[in-house]
Amino acid sequence: MKKCTLSFLFLIALTFSLKAQLNQNYESASTLGKKGMNLSSYYSSLQLVCDHSPEYQDNEYIRNFGLRLGYGITNRFDLQLSYSYLSLVDLNHHFCISPKYSIYKNKIAASIPLSFYFGNEGKLFTLSPKIILTQPISQYLDISLIPKMEIAVGGSFERFYSVSIGFGVSKNLQKWAIRPELGLHHKLSSSSAVWSYGLGFQYKFK
């Protein structure tokens, strides 16, 4: 039970997402361009699946709300700042700084978010390297696959791995997008896992 509880707290502390907040991302591989700026809001729901304790078997949900501001340093490099609030957990405040680099325009990007979580039970730092793979379907729709690893900085938790799939829906994806997303997060040494799903909204100012 203690092992499951620690896994649960760490998984919840990860995120989003953005990233997100237990690893929901709500973004594509596109960057903003030099001096471009956007604002994102998002909502996520997380459910633990754990076989170590019956206590966490039945619909253990955590809600996550957040805002993210992005700014284009160059045409290929963005910097993002975000804040998220997670309900029902001790580490319920989350700040994140996310550098994002475009490897292949609008289709492949890399990011290494640095997150800081704090609350009644202390604090936690994580690094979350990820690759964003985006396929534009049309001018109104894109789809993104985002594999990611979660690493606790200076902590004793095991690494967690995750994959998310998200969509961008809009009449003008260059200006704004609604972004539903689904993610699965787990560690290889355990059957404990977290399913996450949510909805994000992005708006580009310039």
Closest CA to 24 of 107, 113, 141, 104: 113
Distance between CA atoms of residues 62 and 173, nearest Å: 30
Note the pLDDT of residue 8.
44
Confidence of residue 29 (pLDDT cuts 50, 70, 90): very high
Please determine, for residue 79, whether its predicted confidence score (pLDDT) is greater than 90.
yes
Note the pLDDT of residue 33.
96
Average pLDDT, the chain: 83
Around Cβ 66, how many Cβ atoms within 10 Å?
A: 27
Residue linked to tokens 């699965």? 184
> 3-state class of 15 per DSSP?
coil
pTM given for the model: 0.83
Residue type, position 124, single letter: L
Architecture of domain 2-204: Beta Barrel (2.40)
Q: Which token pair is 1?
A: 């039970």
Note the pLDDT of residue 191.
66
Note the pLDDT of residue 141.
98
Confidence of residue 155 (pLDDT cuts 50, 70, 90): low
Closest CA to 69 of 60, 77, 57, 79: 79
Confidence of residue 192 (pLDDT cuts 50, 70, 90): low
Closest CA to 153 of 183, 191, 112: 112
- Residue 116 β-bridge partners: 95, 125
Q: Render the burial of 86-121: b for 16+ CB within 10 Å, e for the rest.
A: beebebbebebebebebeeebbebebebebebbeee
**In terms of pLDDT, which residue wins out, 46 or 14?**
46
Residues in the chain: 206
Q: Which token pair is 108?
A: 């492949």
Average pLDDT over residues 118-136: 90
